[in-house]
Amino acid sequence: MQSVYIETSVVSYLVARPPKDTLAHQWHVWTKDWWQVRRPFFECVVSAEVLREAAAGDPQASRQRLEALSTLAVLRRTEAVDELAEAFLSAGPLPAKAKADAVHLAIATIHRVDYLLTWNCKHLANAEILWRLCPVAEQRGYRMPSVCRPLQLMGEIKYED
């Protein structure tokens, strides 16, 4: 079974109630669809960083986020994770304020997770940034996970001719 690291933005959109006719609402719908339909086909994992971020903010929303994540395995943050996160930050494409994003990517990489699922298109689901970070992981003997959004991990879609 393939593994998926659930980054905080995914569970945030899962429990969010954005106004209809907004992009945020569509992201909520796609996230909910993925959570209900596709999540059971993967070994889903998080980290203490995800749980820390999910616990922040509005108390009711944080309870919902933490409840949604409560059954998922929590990957350990190790010295190797911290070293790789620092290397990602030192490589240049991630700003210092994106340290949490570097940690998410490093945890998923070190633990050899297949996919990192996120709605964070600024720093994580960003092809130009990932292209520059891949060699950093490879030089250390790791393969980065495939970073994608829920819609990209919906499985094979069959089209009628």
Q: Write down all domains in the chain, each with its CATH number in brackets.
A: 3-153 (3.40.50.1010)
Residue 112, both tokens:
């050899």
Rounded Cα distance between 88 and 82, Å, is 10
Residue 141, both tokens:
């003997």
pLDDT along the chain (161 residues), means of 10: 97 91 91 94 97 95 96 96 96 92 97 97 92 96 96 74 55
**Helix 99-110 and helix 48-55, axial crossing angle in degrees, nearest 10:** 140
Q: What does residue 77 show for φ and ψ, rounded to 5 degrees?
A: -90, 115
- DSSP state string for 36-100: IIIGGGSEEEEEHHHHHHHHSS-HHHHHHHHHHHTTSEEEPP-HHHHHHHHHHHHTSSS-GGGHH
Q: How does 50-72 read in b/e, with b if 16+ C-beta sit within 10 Å?
A: bbebbeeeeeebbebbeebbeeb
8 Å CB contact between 34 and 150: yes
pLDDT at 17: 87
pLDDT at 159: 52
